[in-house]
């Protein structure tokens, strides 16, 4: 396996949302929640002060355009109130009050504008990646796309094929459910494709509006954490089977790992008011198991000289600070410190899901990497499933 990666393009959400704004909104909406007294400490523990969204916070918390909560069956409700002893005037007041309650946004109201943004951001990222690779739209032989939070059919692949536009014979490979593992798994797939045909040019585009999982009415602790974590980002990169002057990283090997019995730990569910990201507190421990398995893969890969080999940078999206800390604690003692510097830096402005590894890679590239240095890319996603790659900076 030898694939060549050009520098990725990264488009951050243009609407800056501060943690203090989210805290204020949640305080105002759920003042009596059991976790309300702890919200400031919980927010501070994420280490995230601001994040970029494709749409403003006001769009996520706005009421739906439909009529109030009391509209459905209003006539029957009025008659029931009168039968229970309400006067007609009092019954009318009750119904009017119920109809004044803002209705929640529907799935369409939440996802339609986000889907438009995902397409526009994805196009910008794709054009940026092609420019970084010194290539034109007509050079693309295969497009791999991923977006998990704005389902649509036709999907992002067909949207970009029309918007860019791509050649009619370009292979389109959408992967809408890769989620957080999209960054590494798309590169592994691209590497396999160019291995089969070294002259093939593969464009990878990942565009995620994770802010659509911000659900104002939810009052669980897990929902609070989801509100605080996610950022919106579109990324793209070109992978080729032969080195180009613009290539920055050679990918040499890929590893995949899936844990059985863990599919319920992280879930994206669609309810009447949109998509909800549901987390189980056992999730970080399960992710840690994939990290341990990755260390074993690397140990076996370099078992002939384990003392001398180590990555010079570790570009990891494990989903949160607890797993980053676990990675630092469990990596071999001989490895240098600071390998996760760019991963931590990226996380300070939010969890980017599938776009995270490309953002981390871009930060490492912009900081400057010595030719011949080794890199390991890692990500884990709901499933629980993980993919890692190992390669060399050019």
Domain ranges (residues) in the chain: 3-60+104-240, 250-393
Residue 210: its pLDDT value, please?
95
Query: Do 3-60+104-240 and 250-393 fold alike per CATH?
Result: yes
Low-confidence ranges of the chain (pLDDT < 70): 66-73, 97-102, 283, 306-307
How are beta strands 142-146 and 201-208 bridged, if at all? parallel
Q: Which fold has domain 250-393?
A: Peroxisomal Thiolase; Chain A, domain 1 (3.40.47)
**CATH code given to domain 3-60+104-240:** 3.40.47.10
Residue 69: its pLDDT value, please?
47
In this structure, what token pair is assigned to residue 252? 């040499």
Residue 98: its pLDDT value, please?
63
Exposed, middle or buried, 335 (CB in 10 Å: 0-12/13-18/19+)? middle
Per residue in 174-220, pLDDT tens? 998 899 999 999 999 999 999 999 999 999 999 999 999 999 888 88
How are beta strands 142-146 and 171-174 bridged, if at all? parallel
Contact 125, 235 (CB under 8 A): yes
pTM: 0.90
Contacts of 13 (CB under 8 A, 6+ apart): 51, 52, 53, 54, 121, 209, 211, 231, 232, 233
């Amino acid at each position: 396996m030898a694939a060549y990666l050009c520098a990725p393009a990264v488009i951050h959400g243009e609407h800056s949302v501060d943690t203090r704004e989210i805290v204020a909104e949640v305080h105002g909406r759920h003042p009596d929640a059991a976790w309300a007294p702890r919200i400031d400490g919980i927010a501070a523990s994420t280490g995230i002060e601001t994040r970029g969204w494709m749409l403003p916070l006001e769009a996520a918390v706005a009421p739906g355009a439909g009529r109030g909560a009391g509209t459905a069956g209003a006539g029957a409700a009025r008659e029931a109130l009168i039968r229970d002893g309400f006067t007609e005037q009092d019954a009318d007041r009750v119904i009017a009050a119920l109809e004044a309650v803002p209705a929640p946004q529907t799935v369409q109201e939440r996802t339609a504008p986000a889907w438009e943004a995902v397409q526009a951001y994805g196009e910008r990222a794709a054009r940026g990646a092609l420019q970084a690779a010194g290539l034109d739209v007509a050079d693309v032989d295969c497009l791999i796309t991923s977006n998990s939070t704005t389902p649509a059919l036709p999907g992002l692949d067909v949207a970009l094929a029309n918007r860019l536009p791509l050649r009619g014979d370009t292979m389109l490979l959408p992967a809408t459910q890769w989620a957080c593992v999209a960054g590494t798994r798309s590169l592994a797939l691209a590497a396999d494709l160019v291995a089969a045909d070294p002259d093939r040019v593969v464009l990878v585009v990942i565009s995620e509006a994770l802010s659509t999982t911000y659900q104002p009415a939810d009052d669980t602790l897990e929902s609070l954490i989801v509100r605080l974590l996610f950022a919106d980002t579109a990324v793209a990169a070109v992978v080729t089977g032969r080195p180009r002057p613009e290539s920055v990283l050679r990918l040499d090997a890929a590893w995949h790992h899936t844990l059985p019995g863990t599919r319920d730990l992280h879930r994206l569910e669609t309810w009447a008011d949109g998509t909800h990201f549901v987390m189980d507190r056992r999730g970080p421990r399960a992710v840690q198991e994939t990290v341990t398995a990755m260390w074993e893969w690397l140990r076996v890969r370099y078992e002939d000289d384990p003392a001398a080999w180590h990555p010079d940078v570790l570009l990891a999206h494990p989903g949160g600070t607890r797993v980053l800390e676990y990675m630092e604690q469990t990596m071999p003692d001989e490895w240098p410190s600071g390998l996760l510097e760019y991963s931590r830096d990226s996380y300070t402005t939010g969890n980017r899901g599938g776009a995270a590894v490309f953002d981390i890679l871009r930060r490492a590239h912009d900081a400057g990497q010595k030719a011949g240095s080794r890199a390991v890319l890692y990500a884990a996603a709901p499933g629980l499933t993980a993919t890692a790659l190992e390669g060399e900076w050019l």
